[in-house]
Amino acid sequence: AAAEKGGFDSFMDKEIHDQPQAVADTLLGRTDASGALVLDDLRIDESVLRAVNKIIVVACGTAAYSGHVAKYAIEHWCRIPVEVELAHEFRYRDPIVDERTLVVAVTQSGETMDTLMAVRHAREQGAKVISIVNTHGSTIPRESDAVLYTHAGPEIAVASTKAFLAQITAAYVLGLYLAQLRGNKFPDEIGALLEELRDMPRKIQTVIERGEYVRATARSMEKSDKVLFLGRHVGFPVALEGALKLKELAYIHAEGFAAGELKHGPIALIDEGQPVFVVVPSPRGRDSLHSKVVSNIQEIRARGARTLVIAEDGDDAVRPYADEIFWIPQAPTLLQPLLAVVPLQIFAMALATAKGLDVDQPRNLAKSVTVE
């Protein structure tokens, strides 16, 4: 087992370090000689994909958070409405699904029973199903109309890391492919986004190399019993995933919130010393989201919070209000989750390790849940 861990203390640690490769491999071989996206595995007729008027992403756990990121990207690039739904909720609410609905099932294992049941239900209603799957030969791709494989390699640790980044990457590829097919974007815009995407593994590597500071912070927080996570736009699913990782690995009560929701309730939770992670959007992004999130940091700090901020290199506006800053390289807004989640993964792993817990096999959890 030590050899399989490649010199790392845990599979999780190894898999975090595998992430640049997982993203690079998931992008491999997706374009033809002219640079256009080609998805060979997609056996759904192009005319059907052009006619799609709604996308529903179904998934569970971490995979569902990759679906939240997919929603922001696909809606922005393709102008198709995207819903994200937990697979176990989808089927039981009598969802509105027909021939023009594209259901995207996201799953690392390809065996999650809740997700499989959602796939079956969608197809019974006439929808086409594309699955984004990491495990070849698993059940869900066999029961889907088409599959887009993530190439993260086997993921052993129960808590998902590299599969998550690969799922987000595959969702971007799918979004750009649909934008190309439906003529929502010019080929050069798609080419530019693909270039940015191909540059992400290098940036993820940088975040991993900065991990020691995150680990040291985590070790100093071994006694924490409640940690909050705030994010906005694509930073919101990152906050949810950061909280999930901390629950799964360190058994700490952790909650993720949309930063804009703070004043509508969660701010009541802030008292002296309360640790709050905040994922800060790029200051170069649109819509003044950056300044709104910086104001949130200011507000919670004024109420005693200990602010742990994830911000882009060069974002000096956050400095006065941050107790700790975990810097990530600059990236286009929609691609930022691939970087911002990495310090949160490392934090949860290091805190669990500091508590003497088994990070690869957390209590009560299974890698793949094959019962409903």
Q: Which residues bind ligand G6P (CB under 6 A)?
A: 60-63, 107-109, 112, 115, 158-160, 365, 367-369
CA distances (Å), origin 203, targets 23, 46, 232: 11, 34, 21
Please identify every residue annotated as catalytic: 367
Measured from the CB atom, is 107 or 217 closer to ligand G6P?
107
CA distances (Å), origin 103, targets 55, 87, 199, 308: 6, 11, 29, 36
Measured from the CB atom, is 21 or 368 closer to ligand G6P?
368
Measured from the CB atom, is 275 or 337 closer to ligand G6P?
337
Q: Are 60 and 115 in contact (CB under 8 A)?
A: yes
- Please state, in angstroms and rounded to a whole number, the distance separating the CA atoms of residues 203 and 174: 22
Residue 340 Cβ vs ligand G6P, minimum distance, rounded to whole Å: 18
Q: Are 117 and 144 in contact (CB under 8 A)?
A: no
Helix crossing, 337-354 with 211-219: angle to 10°?
Answer: 40
Q: Are 311 and 283 in contact (CB under 8 A)?
A: no
Instruction: Of 288, 339, 287, 338, give the one whose Cα is nearest residue 311.
Output: 339
Residue 81 Cβ vs ligand G6P, minimum distance, rounded to whole Å: 24
Measured from the CB atom, is 60 or 278 closer to ligand G6P?
60
Residue 88 Cβ vs ligand G6P, minimum distance, rounded to whole Å: 11
Measured from the CB atom, is 56 or 63 closer to ligand G6P?
63
Residue 250 Cβ vs ligand G6P, minimum distance, rounded to whole Å: 15
CA angle 363-66-261, nearest 5°? 90
CA distances (Å), origin 152, targets 26, 42, 100, 149, 167: 7, 19, 31, 9, 9
- Please state, in angstroms and rounded to a whole number, the distance separating the CA atoms of residues 165 and 137: 21
Q: What are phi and psi of 103, to 5 degrees?
A: -100, 130
Residue 47 Cβ vs ligand G6P, minimum distance, rounded to whole Å: 30
